[in-house]
Amino acid sequence: MESTFSANIILIKSLRGKNKQKSLNMLREIASEIDPICRARGWTVWTLREFHPKNESLLGMNVDCSEVKLRLRYGDEYLSYDEILGTALHELAHMEIGPHNKKFHKLVEELETQLAIQQAKHAMQVSYMLSSQFYI
């Protein structure tokens, strides 16, 4: 199952079969969190997709700086949203740095900070919108 998303994350694809809609929804949510980061850094992810590699310890992969593959589940058991989001940030860091060196890990930390700031701003906006409804 697939859908288009934005100018920075072009296509989202889940695996076929059981729970494909749940997986697609989860990928859309992940995409909504990482899209502002991609936009700010000028990155384009042509495909954000679910994958199920044979290597059970593999959680994600960045292919040619254009496709980000994420493991969402083992069978019917989904990984936590935060774990998947963390993997997505790790794979995005490969847009700039290939090897897992100090620069790479520093970039992952920068992306995590950027995401935390973005999430805090969003939470404040939602809180403001909810509180302002009581004064209308």
Give catalytic residues, as residue numbers. Answer: 91
**Residue 10: closest CA among 33, 35, 29, 30:** 35
Residue type present at position 13: K
Task: Give the integer Cα–Cα distance in Å for 83 and 19.
Answer: 19
Q: SS3 of 18, please?
A: coil
80 within 8 A of 3, measured Cβ to Cβ: no
